[in-house]
Chain A
Amino acid sequence: MSADRLLLTLSDSSDSSDGHSRIEILNTGGYRSDGRRQYELRTISIDLSPQGSGADGSASLTHGLTQVNVCVFGPREAKMRSQTYHDRANVNIEVAIAAFSASERRKRGRGDKRILELSQTLKSTFEPVIQTSLYPRSQIDIYIQVLQQDGGLLQACVNATTLALANAGIPMYDFVCAVTGGVHSTSALLDLTLLEENDLPNVTVAVMPRSGKITLVSMETRLHVDRFEEIFRLAGEAGTVIHREMRRAVKDRTEQLVASMQSVGRPSTGADVGDNEY
């Protein structure tokens, strides 16, 4: 639905009479280029059904047009003994960005600095969140596949990884919910698309909703300190909205699984299904 609106807006602006095809980031009516309002987040769709051959947990998440798949394997025996820790699990994250994910086809090797940095950032974000001390000398592998990019890559990777880990049953201290925020002259915007990301200073913030603490802050564009403060707070609050969606998806999935387990074999036992509170 939002994709159609995006196409419509693009074709409209290219027909403007003065010959310039500039797309307005935020118009006077308060609408952005894809029809959203200032603080509105893109449509989130979460799919927790199994993918990959025998992944312990998997998740496919889309934020509008950005789509990311994550598969989690583990905790399992480490492939390389030299990388194990005697008192905790080793978390290994590998990111692969599909060549067809961006508007121009570009093949990125494994050693690409941007990808390495992304993996490292994700690793240091999740290492303190996963209860690794429960699984000494083992390894948790997280494989991330980026299928479509339309802004908010780090955000989507963090959210999808959290879901996949929850789906795999790996104990964590809390969810990690990320959202991007940007500033257009004086108005703050949330959940930026690629167009907005390229034009505006933006920051990605990941928050742990139960405690409200911030785990990840990543900003690569120039922004005045006062504006930063504003967006930073806003993004922290938006993280809780994403948390609600994620919790709902996990709960629905669990209900489905429990219902199908109960329907196999014996007739309904009347046991409550909704008791699995996260």
Chain B
Amino acid sequence: MRPPSPSIPEKEFLFSALKQGLRLDGREFFETRPVTLTFGPELGWVECSLGKTRVLAQVDAKMIKPPPERPFEGVISIHSEISPMASSEFELGRPSEEEVTITRMLDKVIRRSDVVDKESLCILAGQRVWHLRLNVHCLSDSGNLLDYVEVIGEEVTVHHPTSRAPIPLSLHHNLYCFTFAFFSDTSIHPVLDPNHLEQRLNGGLISIALNAHHELCVVQKSGGVPLEPADVLRIVNVAVQKAKDLDVIVESRLREDWEGRKVEVR
């Protein structure tokens, strides 16, 4: 069901506020909503929320025989579901445009950038490897689902079914994704982490996934209002800065959680 477009007064209000340098929720142009990570009871279960947008991710692992062409690497599959629980715009069953974007981004980020060290997933070369299945459920959409989904991908730990101590998955690096929305009126600066209304009224989105070491993994600006090259580079630099900040937060949360669980190891 195509959602109704925002009303004209809402549109005008948003644009005139942005022109004056104000965002509707009081944030700065380049400020993200605060990220809260909640770790579930079992390992490999995380819920992340950025403002009112919430996403849940869970990792499951099982042993399989590896495909013959790559006997030394494990397999990762990503499965994402956006149900109407997240927002009335989404229908069950048919992949909507946004779902395709999210799945593909996740795919690009996690598989093509080699975030997870696939070789470490190998148990017995040619015979048994781990098959990781990452399930992502979007619980509530208040704009900018994408960024979310990325942040959680990282908290993944594998637990061996043989009751040995669980070891964390070796990730090459942590990836963060930032989405900037820009508007058809080019005098308005791009905003980071658009909320629902900003996302509906945008003239284009640019998503950047990168790690904390100044390496860009995915840059996607699919059309929308054309930007000067200098603007694009400026946005990339902001994303680099934000990635460093976010990395500090996520690492510290992960460490806290890990400490909390160590107690249960026999």
Contact = CB atoms under 8 A, between A and B. Distances in A.
A232 interface: yes
B226 A214 contact: yes
B206 A224 contact: no
Instruction: Across the A-B interface, give the 6 residue pairs with the lowest CB-CB distance, nearest first.
Output: A125-B223, A213-B226, A124-B223, A219-B219, A217-B221, A121-B222
A107 interface: no
A220 B228 CA distance: 21
A128 B104 contact: no
B97 interface: yes
Given A113-B107, A128-B203, A128-B225, 17 more contacts: A111-B95, A120-B101, A121-B223, A125-B223, A128-B184, A213-B229, A214-B226, A215-B221, A215-B223, A216-B221, A217-B219, A218-B220, A218-B221, A219-B220, A220-B108, A221-B217, A225-B216
B248 interface: no
B222 A125 contact: yes
Instruction: Give the contact-size bracket for chain B.
Output: 35 or more
Given A116-B100, A212-B228, A128 B223 contact: yes
Interface of A: 111, 113-114, 116-117, 120-129, 203, 208, 211-226, 228-229, 232-233, 236
Contacts, number: 107
B101 A117 contact: yes
B255 to A, nearest CB: 25
Contacts of A216: 221-223
B227 interface: yes
13 contacts: A117-B100, A212-B229, A213-B226, A216-B223, A217-B221, A218-B219, A218-B221, A222-B113, A224-B215, A225-B236, A225-B237, A226-B214, A233-B229
A226 B104 CA distance: 26
Nearest to A217: B221
Contacts of B61: none
Given A120-B222, A219-B218, A228-B219, A213 B228 contact: yes
A68 B250 CA distance: 44
A228 B113 contact: no
B240 interface: yes
A219 B216 contact: yes
Interface centre among A111, A117, A216, A220 (most CB of B within 10 A): A220
Contacts of A117: 100-101, 104
Given A220-B112, A225-B216, A225-B240, A113 B221 contact: no
A208 B103 contact: no
Contacts of A126: 223
Interface string B110-127: 001110000000000000
Interface string B221-256: 111111111001100110010000000000000000
Contact of A113 (B103, B206, B218): B103
A121 B204 CA distance: 11
A116 B94 CA distance: 13
B221 A214 contact: yes
Nearest to B114: A222
A225 B228 CA distance: 18
Nearest to A221: B112
A2 B247 CA distance: 47
A223 B226 CA distance: 23
A176 B231 CA distance: 19
B92 to A, nearest CB: 16
B223 A127 contact: yes
B232 A232 contact: yes
A223 B218 CA distance: 9
A217 B84 CA distance: 31
B222 A213 contact: no
Nearest to B237: A225
Contacts of B210: 225
B227 A214 contact: yes
A116 B203 CA distance: 21
B210 to A, nearest CB: 8
Nearest to B100: A116
Contacts of B113: 220-222
Nearest to A82: B2
Nearest to A124: B223
A129 to B, nearest CB: 8
Contacts of B218: 219-220
A122 B97 CA distance: 13
A223 B104 contact: no
B204 to A, nearest CB: 8
Contacts of B214: 224-226
A232 B104 CA distance: 23
